[in-house]
Structure 1
């Protein structure tokens, strides 16, 4: 009984807002969908897959054992952000650590931009949800006072109070959606900052170990049986070219 009464009141609350309440509800659905997608995308297992963590943690040992080729092949099999950054760091196409560092920074920046997809949508919802609520309230008040003016009877204040209360429903709904979305946006922003810091630390460590142990010369060593020779694939080459083009853009790394 209590549930049915509560559901009826919620339904009545939503219907009282008219078309503006429908737009606010749409904003809430969009915010929920984007938040779910962001939560899935920003999982640590998506950023740094478990199968790559062991390789990253012992990359120095692998380089000293002459297994740079196998490590690069593992990164090429993954499309995770850390794998994209790492295979640029281990690319044999760079002649110096400075060149590799610049390309890694550009690639990491590109990956962060991709991970930020959807954050702009949350910002739009935060902005327009309260405005839609306010617009719905103003529209409702215009209707209330217009009706009272037509009837010419304002002796009962409860009629005005009831109409104003109904008109304020959209403002309440808009603020609720905005507040929840602000919390989600703040959480994902902090999450992105942590991801960026983690990518920077891992990439720096990988570059340090790679060039400390010989850099691209590691691929000239005799490889263990079963490893394949290093052949720059099209994905890595295109990523390097894109990184080089991005470096030419104004303030790309600022």
Structure 2
């Protein structure tokens, strides 16, 4: 066995050297590919960085646990039982402390100023639209990248072809077909780069759009359960009975008792006229 060790060591060293050589060759080809596109390839690279950053951020933000925390989902599914047990205040506090879209929508559903379920439904739908728009943050930027990356690639290709044929037109010698082919191949690199950026971005955009639709559908079901349970068990009357006594901290602040009262216009004008008469006399 001992006489095989030098052979094994030599094979390992040769394999490492070959791997390093291949790696260096691949890196050189990638670098040449990027440089061959000129300024248009630079713009495409910027598009790729933007798409990558937005994709990672939105994939993290649109996780099920981030938008629909499991504990909060469980509370909303058991909303009917919670109201019957007289724990409406605890449920509202739980929704208010949850920094999630479904928590914010749930707080709106339980506000006391909605006398009927229809009023609460309208307010919930308006808030839900705002939350969905917030969930869609960044998707418009991905759509822009999907549109302009291939166009930048096409523009770079056309620009490269114009340069190739302009050089051929100025040359008095017989054109070398291999040189022409090499020039056209370089010009097509930007098209490849633009498509390489656009295709993965389309996939991510489609995935995120479907995720948002699924999240919105799930939130609609959960908030529907909450609305039904809230109004079946008293609705705004829960505040009058004192069963919910912590909601006012997140409602718009009422006018303070120390604030100066609003003056009636007639009283102000009457005082002004009286002052004018006293000065004249």
TM-score scaled to structure 2, two decimals? 0.79
Counterpart check, 1:233 vs 2:219: no
Q: How does 1:90-129 map to 2 (within 5 A)?
A: 90-129=110-149
For 1:131, the equivalent position in structure 2 comes to 151
For 1:162, the equivalent position in structure 2 comes to 182
Partners of 2:173 and 2:217 in 1: CA distance: 66
- Deviation string 1:200-235 (CA, Å, 9 cap, x unpaired) is 111111101111122122234465xxxx7234234x
Partners of 2:124 and 2:252 in 1: CA distance: 13
SS at 2:66 equivalent: helix
Counterpart check, 1:19 vs 2:17: no
Q: CA deviation at 1:92?
A: 1.5
Partners of 1:153 and 1:141 in 2: CA distance: 19
Match for 1:79 among 99, 103, 122?
Answer: 99
For structure 2, the residue ranges without an aligned partner over 5 or more in a row are 1-20, 254-281
For 1:3, the equivalent position in structure 2 comes to 23
SS at 1:129 equivalent: helix
Match for 2:205 among 185, 189, 198?
Answer: 185
- Deviation string 1:145-164 (CA, Å, 9 cap, x unpaired) is 12222222243211111100
Q: How does 1:234-253 map to 2 (within 5 A)?
A: 234=250, 236-237=251-252
Cα gap change, 1:204 to 1:147, in 2 (>3 Å):
same
Q: How does 1:22-61 map to 2 (within 5 A)?
A: 22-61=42-81
For structure 1, the residue ranges without an aligned partner over 5 or more in a row are 239-254
**Aligned-pair Cα RMSD in Å:** 1.6
SS at 1:164 equivalent: helix
Match for 1:205 among 225, 228, 232?
Answer: 225
Partners of 2:194 and 2:185 in 1: CA distance: 15
Greater RCO (Cα-Cα under 8 Å, separation 6 or more): 1
| Contact 2:111/2:247, CA 8 A, preserved across alignment | no
Partners of 2:81 and 2:241 in 1: CA distance: 15
For 1:147, the equivalent position in structure 2 comes to 167
TM-score scaled to structure 1, two decimals? 0.87
